[in-house]
Structure 1
Amino acid sequence: MNATQPESHIVQWLTWTQDTIGFGTLAATVLLIALLYDQFSYVKSKGSIAGPPLKMWPIIGPFLDSINPDFEKYKAQWASGALSCVSVFHKFVVLASDRDLTRKIFNSSAYVKPCVVDVAIKILRPTNWVFLDGKAHVDYRRGLNGLFTNRALSMYLPIQEGIYDTYFDKFVEMSKDGHVPYMPIFREINCALSLRTFCGNYITEEQIKEIAHDYYLVTAALELVNFPIILPFTKAWYGKKAADKVMDIFAKCAQMAKDHIKAGGDVTCTMDAWIAIMNGRDFDSDHGTVPNKKIRKFTNKEISETIFTFLFASQDASSSATTWLFQIVADRPDVYAKIREEQLAVRGGDPNVPLSLELTEKMTYTNMVVKECLRLRPPVIMVPYVAKKDFPISDTYTVPKGSMIIPTVYPSLHDPEVYERPDEFVPERWLPDGDGTKNAKNWLVFGTGPHYCLGQKYALMNFTNMIGKACMNLDFTHKVTPLSEKVRVFATIFPDDDCLLQFKKRE
């Protein structure tokens, strides 16, 4: 009986309260207490950093702003202080816009771990390697390093060049009657490049088209601010269904790759390389494969989840970078002409010379154009982490345990104290004595620390080769509109008019 007495007392108190003051008054009192607690919790967590003194919208905070993110509001938030904050539903969010604080977050694995957004762990699965921490993350990552060595990257080039050629024909056909939006097809070419590079011929053309569509649903689901529960028929729900379907396809491809390598087949894609490394081979030698210290065996499920995260990085970020790259180059005929001149020069005047690692490394100016585009329009402007414990990020502020903490790379890449004319496109800043080259600490496009982007060199090579071949073999122009320079945020950033281009074959 004693165990039930407290419960009985509570029921009796609630009954007495309802009878005495009425249900409506009771409900209003409970709501008022919840609202006051929400505001008190926010003010306590905020401390001295920048941010609204109180939550304008109790409980939900600026949730409605996430439905249509405004890039100018993000810039205003970053400008409000080196550290600033908002609170959405149950989550307190700290944003860091200072370069050194941003680097500190990236390098503080003892205090923080990647969290993407609240629903991401449900969509990408809790077992996904990006959510691993400490030694588990380091050990897993060790098994991936061989996939992006020079030797491995050179193996992927023939696949990529074939896709460039196929899609350049599509570019010309699409715009034969005038300028059309190219952002959607830039998403498609990057999806095809990624899937063929990662999965080779184990994946079908039909599956590539299906994944290109489904992955858009995943991107839409991973908004920076999101409702924490996956409800049926919401963007998060459709994203979860799409992710499960895509990872199932990748798991089947992984098994086909294992069968191929076991039968003595050659390495033709990332899955092949990964499985060959598991079997004791390495791809960091100019003379082919050499013995490698053994790494653990990865299951088809682990491979599928990892390839899915590779696609997440290469699809959305690469689509953003490709869109801005073509727009920026098309708007600058002098840059366009220099790229074309360099591309012919490194090929000895023969445009039919196939791509190779050695050829790509000679494309100095084209690479500078790519780096400057990524600085001016970084695809990923924020990288969400969560504080594993109270994090003394500065002498005056400690991020509370459980809070999201978001290092922001955009301000570092546009710092007027580092970059002369930071909002202008100046490829020459990447010459050996340029302000870009001399300020490597500000180059945070691919992150830094234990979770830096593994595919950094792969991405730079892909952009360099794609824009280089396009400038050499095609004539393309951009139709400027009032929305061309307006930034739209959709996971990454895009021009708000989706980049109106027209392509023609160059004789």
Structure 2
Amino acid sequence: METISSILYSISPYLFTALLFLFLIEQISYLRKKRHAPGPILVFPFLGNALSLVRDPTTFWFKEAATAATTGYCANYIAGKFTVFLRNTELSHLVFANVRPDGFHLVGHPFGKKLFGEHNLIYMFGQDHKDIRRRIAPNFTPKALSTYTHLQQIIILRHLKNWESVSSQSPSQPIPLRLLVRDLNLETSQTVFVGPYLTKEARDRFRVDYNLFNVGSMKLPIDFPGFAFGNARRAVTRLVKTLAVCAGASKARMAAGEEATCLVDFWMQGTVEEIANAKAAGESPPSNSGDEETGGFLFDFLFAAQDASTSSLLWAVALLDSHPEVLKRVREDAGRVWSPESDELITTDQLREMTYTQAVAREVLRYRPPATLVPHIAMEDFPLTESYTIPKGAVVFPSVYESSFQGFSDPDRFDPDRFFGDRREDQLYKKNFLTFGAGSHQCVGQRYALNHLVLFIAMFCTLLDFKRHRTDGCDEIMYCPTICPKDGCSVFLSKRRARYPNLSSK
């Protein structure tokens, strides 16, 4: 033992010198990439500002925006990664427009490829990406969307009834909606995407694994057993395997000519035809048509729909409570075309007629865009401005949130009328509305997402009275991993109608 101690003692100066040298090289590398870009001059070795980001992401990103206020961009260093934050909309569009093999790769998360796995729409580009988007286009036809709205409403109604029942048992106690809305959206996503193919046991496992994914996505990328990030990665693997089994079962049903009842069915209708045609021609199956690949793509859909919708529904409730004049108009708008007493579902035609509620939904998404940042990796040096070039390998964060407050008239005001009537700010400032992204990777399911938000707003406001439990800082933004009100949107609920619509036979 004394020998080992003496050896360590004798080499410790050399170890210290080597570590100091490595830290110095790291600092010089950071400064070389940063050049004259705004951002911290000194960064903590390896971790950089990762601890600040994990501890308080809201403050971290607001500070990044403040640092980038003059130039439209700033630099930083996070867990061994050189990063560039883009506040300016025009600069963000330069990145969105250059998603290609030698430009930028969309990653969806700073450590997304390691977390999500290989078979994801997020990482596809070129012809493969075009082919898969063509293949999933039938998922969002009017017929498919009509099928989904049917399912969405039944699930929304069931959860609203449960929320009202829970609230009525302790009317003096507010209920936080965040976890309740998360469960509503998870059931909706499961049912709409792969409904008939998930057993109750599989749904229960799904809920546990998705929660592990959510928690781990906000932690440092330490991929070892017992660490949240490692647990999240393994949870994603299990989720993709479950979804792959669903894809295989759907293929069998669609090959037998049965009717499509969920998203994967509409998708597999065309896929099984392509596979059959390839087989008849003596060719290999089309690329990206296997069950495992489809499972990965379905996880993309789930990831995009689940957390984003949870964020949007929570902010809708919070904003409607704080804007009673908007709430009044929503109730009038919905009541003009739909009555719960009719025991009928809201049709897709009625959904389109709720023009003011549609405007409210769009303003919720502008004012509080769920996914505030869209991480990309620079695959080559990219001249961002005349004076600054993003270095190859940098993680670039175009800010959807900051763009939402540029261009629009009085952008800091929640004002649904900007998307209603003759103002047409959705067209005038279209480039600033980046909630669904831009370019070749723009969200293909945006109409589905909007329908879900409009249906929820219409049914929630029509069937329930609600009042926010207001506390200091309750409306502050919290990342989880999309944004939601800091208090989880705690409300008092009560039944507004004498009876709920009876949709049990629908």
Whether TM-score is above 0.5 comes out as yes
- Give the aligned partner of residue 176 of structure 2: 181
Q: Can you list the C-alpha shifts for 1:178-208, whole angstroms capped at 9, x where unaligned? A: 3111100100101111110001221133433
Structure 2 unmatched runs, 5+? 1-5, 275-284, 499-506
Q: Secondary structure at the match of 1:502?
A: strand
- Give the aligned partner of residue 122 of structure 2: 130
1:398 counterpart (389, 396, 412): 389
Is 1:251 aligned with 2:244? yes
**Cα pair distance change 1:297/1:233, threshold 3 Å:** closer
- Give the aligned partner of residue 458 of structure 2: 468
Q: Can you list the C-alpha shifts for 1:447-502, whole angstroms capped at 9, x where unaligned? A: 10011111111100110011101111222221111132111112111111111112
**Cα pair distance change 1:52/1:349, threshold 3 Å:** closer
- Give the aligned partner of residue 389 of structure 1: 380
Q: Secondary structure at the match of 2:36?
A: coil
> For 2:340 and 2:202, how far apart are their aligned partners in 1?
38
* Of 345-354 and 203-212, the range deviating more from structure 2: 345-354
Paired residue type of 1:125: G
Deviation at 1:209, TM superposition (A): 3.4
Is 1:71 aligned with 2:58? yes
Q: Secondary structure at the match of 1:144?
A: helix
* Of 486-495 and 210-219, the range deviating more from structure 2: 210-219
> For 2:58 and 2:423, how far apart are their aligned partners in 1?
32
Is 1:190 aligned with 2:185? yes
Q: Secondary structure at the match of 2:49?
A: helix
1:410-489 alignment, distance < 5 Å: 410-415=401-406, 418-431=407-420, 432-489=422-479
Report if the CA contact (8 A) 2:98-2:104 is conserved: yes
Report if the CA contact (8 A) 1:60-1:89 is conserved: yes
1:161-180 alignment, distance < 5 Å: 161-176=153-168, 177=170, 178-180=173-175
Report if the CA contact (8 A) 1:175-1:501 is conserved: no
Report if the CA contact (8 A) 2:159-2:184 is conserved: yes
> For 2:450 and 2:404, how far apart are their aligned partners in 1?
17
- Give the aligned partner of residue 195 of structure 2: 200
Is 1:314 aligned with 2:313? no
2:264 counterpart (258, 265, 271): 271
Is 1:83 aligned with 2:67? no
Deviation at 1:241, TM superposition (A): 2.1
Q: TM-score, normalised by structure 2?
A: 0.89
> For 1:392 and 1:113, how far apart are their aligned partners in 2?
16
1:146 counterpart (138, 141, 145): 138
Deviation at 1:372, TM superposition (A): 0.8
Report if the CA contact (8 A) 1:143-1:296 is conserved: no
Structure 1 unmatched runs, 5+? 1-17, 282-293
Deviation at 1:113, TM superposition (A): 0.6
Report if the CA contact (8 A) 1:191-1:208 is conserved: no
Report if the CA contact (8 A) 1:320-1:379 is conserved: yes
* Of 134-143 and 25-34, the range deviating more from structure 2: 134-143
Is 1:341 aligned with 2:332? yes
Q: Can you list the C-alpha shifts for 1:199-247, whole angstroms capped at 9, x where unaligned? A: 1221133433332232121122223x733x5122111111122112222
1:260 counterpart (253, 264, 272): 253
Deviation at 1:369, TM superposition (A): 0.7
Report if the CA contact (8 A) 1:182-1:500 is conserved: yes
Q: Can you list the C-alpha shifts for 1:115-159, whole angstroms capped at 9, x where unaligned? A: 233542123212323212222222222211221122211121211
Is 1:25 aligned with 2:13? yes
- Give the aligned partner of residue 226 of structure 1: 220
> For 1:31 and 1:324, how far apart are their aligned partners in 2?
47
Paired residue type of 2:438: T
Deviation at 1:434, TM superposition (A): 4.5
Report if the CA contact (8 A) 2:117-2:237 is conserved: no
- Give the aligned partner of residue 377 of structure 1: 368
- Give the aligned partner of residue 278 of structure 2: none
Report if the CA contact (8 A) 1:117-1:226 is conserved: no
Is 1:156 aligned with 2:148? yes
**Cα pair distance change 1:189/1:314, threshold 3 Å:** same
- Give the aligned partner of residue 291 of structure 1: none
Paired residue type of 1:197: V
How many residues of Structure 1 are paired with residues of Structure 2 in the alignment?
Answer: 472
**Cα pair distance change 1:256/1:342, threshold 3 Å:** same
> For 1:334 and 1:437, how far apart are their aligned partners in 2?
25
**Cα pair distance change 1:184/1:395, threshold 3 Å:** same
2:97 counterpart (78, 83, 107): 107
> For 2:392 and 2:209, how far apart are their aligned partners in 1?
35
Paired residue type of 2:180: I
**Cα pair distance change 1:24/1:72, threshold 3 Å:** closer
Paired residue type of 1:27: L
Paired residue type of 1:263: A
> For 2:363 and 2:109, how far apart are their aligned partners in 1?
29
Q: Can you list the C-alpha shifts for 1:287-312, whole angstroms capped at 9, x where unaligned? A: xxxxxxx9767111111111111110
Deviation at 1:66, TM superposition (A): 2.6
Is 1:357 aligned with 2:352? no
- Give the aligned partner of residue 46 of structure 1: 34
> For 1:364 and 1:437, how far apart are their aligned partners in 2?
16
Deviation at 1:362, TM superposition (A): 0.8
2:289 counterpart (291, 298, 311): 298
Deviation at 1:321, TM superposition (A): 0.8
Q: TM-score, normalised by structure 1?
A: 0.89
Report if the CA contact (8 A) 2:49-2:77 is conserved: yes
> For 2:424 and 2:444, how far apart are their aligned partners in 1?
26
Paired residue type of 1:361: R
Paired residue type of 1:423: D
Report if the CA contact (8 A) 1:257-1:271 is conserved: yes
> For 1:351 and 1:343, how far apart are their aligned partners in 2?
13
Q: Can you list the C-alpha shifts for 1:68-126, whole angstroms capped at 9, x where unaligned? A: 22413312211222111111232101111100001111111231011233542123212
Report if the CA contact (8 A) 1:278-1:296 is conserved: no
